[in-house]
Amino acid sequence: MVLSHSDEDNFMQEVKHLATKGAKTLAVKADVGNTEDVKHLIHQTISAFGRVDILVKNAAAVAIAGNIMEIPERDWDKFNECKL
């Protein structure tokens, strides 16, 4: 399992927890809004595991808050422009 976050402190505790349960884990610091970071993340993943079986994108380049029906379209577009 590969976990990634732009802030290393945010995921290291979870990586350690999963390792205590016997999961083979890899932690890669990456900002998914940065193309080079994403390339590095993919390279590290393939180097460690040989392939990507499942990809879960649970990230965005910006954080927005509020009622989803009231978010300006430009903010929604910015939120979703992060592509992996």
Domains of the chain: which residue ranges?
2-57
Confidence class of residue 40 from pLDDT cuts 50, 70 and 90? Answer: very high
Residue whose structure tokens are 């592509």: 83
> CA-to-CA distance for 20 and 66, rounded, in angstroms?
37
Whether the full predicted model's pTM is greater than 0.95, yes or no, is no
pLDDT of 66 over the 80 cut: no
Q: What is the pLDDT of residue 71?
A: 80
What percent of the chain shows pLDDT beyond 90?
32
Percent helix, strand and coil across the chain, each to the nearest 5: 45, 10, 45
